Structure formats: structure tokens, C-alpha cells
Amino acid sequence: MDIAIVPTWNRSEMLWHCLDRLRQTPEVKDRAVGILVSVDRHRSRREDPDIAKVLREFAPSMIIHDRYNGPHTYTGGTSNILFAYRLAFEMPEVEFVFSVEEDIMVGEDFFRWHYAVQKQGDWMCSIAAKNRRAHQADSNDPAEYFTSRDTYQGWGVCWRANKLLPVLDHAKPEYYADMTGYLARRFPDSVFGNSFTEQDGMIERVLRETRGITAWPYVPRAFQAGAWGLHSWTRPLHGNLESRIQQLADLMYKYPEKLAAMAGERRDVEPCYLGPFPPDEPRLRETL
């Protein structure tokens, strides 16, 4: 069985929608892909009691492994994500590991797209969301995809399990406790210098050092909905869990422009149509 990790912290309404999207995929319905929810526990943050309620609701409809990272005092969510990756990597008979953070919403053919693209190349990983930094061609063809030698983002990712080894080499307290100093010592010639130091930046450094390749769709199979979170805590939703779930649904599917505006200058929240799409064989169009 393959595993999708779902790192989460204090956004129970996001987690509910993330798991709801996952349980609509054929692979999760058929229990070909299990879900590993990793709950982050930071000493300075009060734990969201509704996380446990969400996990209980979804447990009957999917295979869920719940684990807890911490309590700790590390910055951001990096230690939790790498903690979950290591747990998934160490599970028996796992060929592919997916990462779907709690604010990532996936389409019905999310897993199908990844599996099909992974068959076509020895990629470091494939990423189902829109690439926001590469200068790819315009294409509305769901079958076309492109590859990149220098961009990574952790939004709906698929790895062959063995490809995680160079990343897990950095899953250690020395990195979590001093990300800037650790990466400066480990990657002294990085173009990023002392910036881009959490897990996405570390993984992109690994990508460039190992001369890996990432694969991306022109038409996304996932989008990022996290207009508020660890680094921009302006949670606009109120009421009990059920009320917040409905408010977030309205923002994502009825008023996506409002949700995008909440992200402010980050401009990285862009809800989009997630299919289903025709089951055409993927076609590589360009390598950047």
C-alpha cells in the first residue's frame, strides 16, 4: 500500500476539506492508498481539539494512521513534514509516498495523474499543483506536462520512496533548530543564500545539488487553499467546526477570489477546477 502524508496543525476545517477531497479519489476509496495524518504539537500553541473529531469522522471511510510530532519549539512546520515523510518511508511495502498538507485540495484524478507521469521518467518527484515560478508554455491540455531542473514546491507531491533518501538525510534536530545556519553550512554555494530555509527551500537545494528533475502539469490536479496559517495567522472563520467547514467551502468553491485576496501579497492561493479530466496518456511537452 502506498501512503499519502497529511501534515496538520491547528486548522481543523482545512483538514476536514483536505480529507474529504482525498476520500473522493478512487485510490483512497479502494484502500490502495492509506493516509498518514501527522499532527504538529508546538509548545507555544494551543492544540485544536477539533482535529481529533475530524479524524474520528473520517476513520470509517479510509485507512488513517494518526501520529503526533512533538511537543517541540521548532519554527514552522518543517519538522512535522519531515517527521511524516520518515514514518511513511519506513512503512513496509510502500513504493510511492505522497504529500498532501492540510491546506492542499486534490482532484479526483490526483493519484492517477501522478502514477501515470511517474511511469514516464526517473523524476525526483512529481507535483500536481501549478508551478508558480517556472516560465512554462501556456497549455490547457490536461494530458500535457513539463519538467523542471530547478523548481520545487510542496503542494500535492509524489515521490518514489527511494527518492526521499537525500531529503531524509536532513531530517534532524540540527536542521530544525537552526535552519539558516545549517543550510548555509551544508549548501554554501546555494543561490538562495540565507533565504528560503524551511523544507521547500531545503528540498530545492537537494534538487539542484543532485541534478534531479521535477514533473508538473499544465492543468493542475491540486491547489493550495491556505490563506491563513503558521506564517499568516489571520483566521477569518468563526463558530463551531461544522460552521467553519461550511464557511471554508463557500470561500473555496463559491467565492474563490475572496479566499485568494486573503493571502495578500503572497498571491499563492488560487482555487481552480480539479476535474475529472479524460484519462489520456500524459505527454511531455517541454523541459525547463
- Domains of the chain: residue spans and CATH: 2-287 (3.90.550.10)
The residue with cell 490536479 is 221
pLDDT at position 161: 98
State the cell numbers at 153: 514546491
pLDDT at position 277: 92
pLDDT at position 265: 67
Strands 125-127 and 157-160: antiparallel
pLDDT at position 266: 66
pLDDT at position 3: 98
Please list, in sequence order, all residues whose beta carbon lies within 8 angstroms of the beta carbon of residue 280, skipping any fewer than 6 positions away: 142, 143
Residues of the chain with pLDDT under 50: none
State the cell numbers at 126: 512529481
Work out the widest C-alpha separation in the chain, in whole angstroms.
49
Cis peptide before 7 (omega within 30 of 0): no
Residue 256, Cα to own-chain centre: how many angstroms?
20
pLDDT digits (tens, 9 = 90+) for 164-195: 999 999 999 999 999 999 999 999 999 999 99
The residue with cell 494551543 is 46
